Amino acid sequence: MIFNNFGLVYYVIMKSYIMAILGLMSVMLVGTAFAEEIRYTGDDIPLRISVSQGDTLYFTGTDKIPNMNVNYPNSIHTPCANSEATGKCVIDFSNFPLGQHEWKSTSGVQGKFQVSAPVDPADDASYFESSDKDRKNTSQQAKDFKAQIEAKLEAKLAPYKEEIRQLWILISNAEKQEVLMQNQIAENKAELETLRADSQKAKTQIETIEKYKKDAENWRAVALEQLKVMAEVLGLF
């Protein structure tokens, strides 16, 4: 009986330890999973910033805005309240009350922080139940949409693809025709060269004939002159 009571007490203590550890882990996970690091300088920081509890602002001062002193609705001391130009500081919004906070710099510039509660999807009971199904549905919808787009593109491109195919056929036929024409041109050039050679040969032959004809005429004139002389000598005239 004593052992049973001891076991029961031990079980209760261990259970409380385990629950405490799990609670601490959940706080740590929630605190870090959704926190955001924000980085600005005094030259580029917006005059109105929306942040969540748990976010952290890393600020580098400049001559324009060397520091930020939170003064409304309540004064909140931060490491950036007394920073100087070129100085660096950090503001942790974990302990900032929800709502709007106003700050002012010693340079006279004023701005506002709008602090909101952190958004944790784990707070939604249906999140984990539906997220996997939603992801699958979204994935399938994306695939279906992709298939529809591809089908529409294919339908739009089909006439152009056919036109391109016909153009390639025309280009192929034109290339073949060009080869035939080039061969024909080569044959015509060869024939022209042959004709030119024949023409030159004929011209040479004509020149030779003309020379023979002229020589014959000259010899005929000489022969006639000799006959005339002989006839006169013989007294035939």
Most confident of the following: 127-141, 192-206, 216-230: 192-206
User: Can you tell me the distance from the alpha carbon of 139 to that of 184, in angstroms, rounded to the nearest whole number?
Assistant: 64
Give mean pLDDT, residues 208-233: 80
Residue 135 confidence (pLDDT):
65
Burial class (CB in 10 A: 0-12, 13-18, 19+), 16: exposed
Which backbone phi and psi does 63 adopt, to 5 degrees?
Answer: -60, -30
Residue 83 in contact with residue 106, Cβ under 8 Å? no
The alpha carbon of 99 is separated from its chain's Cα centroid by a whole number of angstroms, namely 43
Read off the tokens for 5. 């009571």
d(CA 43, CA 224): 128
Q: What is the pTM of this model?
A: 0.39
The answer, yes or no, to whether the previous bond of 73 is cis (omega within 30 of 0) is yes
Mean pLDDT of the chain: 79
pLDDT level of residue 114 (50, 70, 90 thresholds): very high
Q: Which two tokens stand for residue 89?
A: 């500081």
* pLDDT beyond 90 at 116: yes
Whether 90 and 37 have beta carbons less than 8 Å apart is answered as no
Phi and psi, residue 88, nearest 5°: -115, 145
Nearest one of 105, 119, 108 to 50, comparing CA atoms? 119
The radius of gyration of the chain from alpha carbons, rounded to an integer in Å, stands at 55
> Cα–Cα distance between 203 and 211 in angstroms, integer?
12
Work out whether the CA dihedral 100, 60, 85, 109 comes out positive or negative: negative
SS3 232: helix
**Structural contact between residues 48 and 112, judged by C-beta atoms closer than 8 angstroms:** yes
Which helix (DSSP H) or strand (DSSP E) does residue 71 occupy? strand 69-72
Residues 6+ apart with CB under 8 A from 224: none
| Model confidence at 9: pLDDT above 60 | no
